[in-house]
Amino acid sequence: MIKKMAACVLVVSLIAVTVYFSKPYFRESPMGPTKTISDTAAADPFGKYEHPVSIRLGYAVDPTGADLSGGETLEKNIWKTVIKQNLNIDVQVLWQVSKENLSQKIDLAIASNDLPDAMIVNQLQLNEMIKAGEIEDLTEAYNSSASPEIKKIIDSTNGLARPSWTEAAENGR
C-alpha cells in the first residue's frame, strides 16, 4: 500500500513538472476551454499552482477495496486531498479497472487515443504511443526541473528509461 501511494505521489510530481513545461494547450470540457497551462503554472515547479490544475488518471483497483483505507474511495481519499491542498492539483479518475484487465484497458486507451494525462505503460505500449504521436518530448523539462530524487531514479535504470524518451524526441514528439 505504501509503495502504491509513493508511486502515486511520484507520478503526480512528474505530471506537475510536465504540466508546468508543456506547450500551452486547450482541453475542451463541458464548461468550455480551460485556461492554458502557462496561465496556471506556478513559478516554482514544485510549488502550489495559483489556479487549479486538473489531471486525469486511470487506476488499477482491487475489486474488494482492500487497497483503500476504511471509508476512502478513489474519488475521495487522503492522497487526493493532500495533493489538492499542497499543489492545487485536482486528480480526477478517468477510468478504473481490475488489475487483471489493466493492460487491456491501456491498450484500448492507446488505440482509441482516449488517454489519461499520465499512466504507467510497458515498453511495447510506449512504442505504440510514440508511433501514434501520443508522446511529447520532455527532455528539456527533465533537464531543467526534475528533482535530484527523480534524476536518481531515472539514472538507476542504467539507461533503460532514457532511450524511450530519446526515441520520442527524435520523432519530433
The Cα 80–Cα 89 span in angstroms is 8
Each residue's pLDDT tens digit, 149-163? 988 998 898 877 765
Write out the chain in H/E/C secondary structure.
Answer: CHHHHHHHHHHHHHHHHHHHHCCCCCCCCCCCCCCCHHHHCCCCCCCCCCCCEEEEEEEEECCCCCCCCCCCCCCCCHHHHHHHHHHCEEEEEEEEEEHHHHHHHHHHHHHHCCCCCECCCCHHHHHHHHHCCCCCCCHHHHHHHCCHHHHHHHHCCCCCCHHHHHHHHHCCC
Cell triple for 60: 488499477
- Burial (CB count <10 Å: 0-12, 13-18, 19+), residue 161: middle
User: What is the pLDDT averaged over residues 34-50?
Assistant: 61
Q: Residue 160 has what pLDDT? A: 77
Q: Residue 26 has what pLDDT? A: 35
Each residue's pLDDT tens digit, 125-154? 988 998 888 888 888 888 888 889 988 998
Q: Residue 52 has what pLDDT? A: 94
Each residue's pLDDT tens digit, 82-123? 999 999 999 999 999 999 999 999 999 999 999 999 888 888
Q: Residue 35 — left, alpha, or beta (φ > 0 → left; ψ -120 to 50 → alpha)?
A: beta
Give the alpha-carbon dihedral of 145, 150, 152, 155, to 10 degrees. -90
This prediction's pTM: 0.64
Q: Residue 88 has what pLDDT? A: 95
Q: Residue 29 has what pLDDT? A: 38
Q: Residue 100 has what pLDDT? A: 93
The Cα 145–Cα 66 span in angstroms is 36
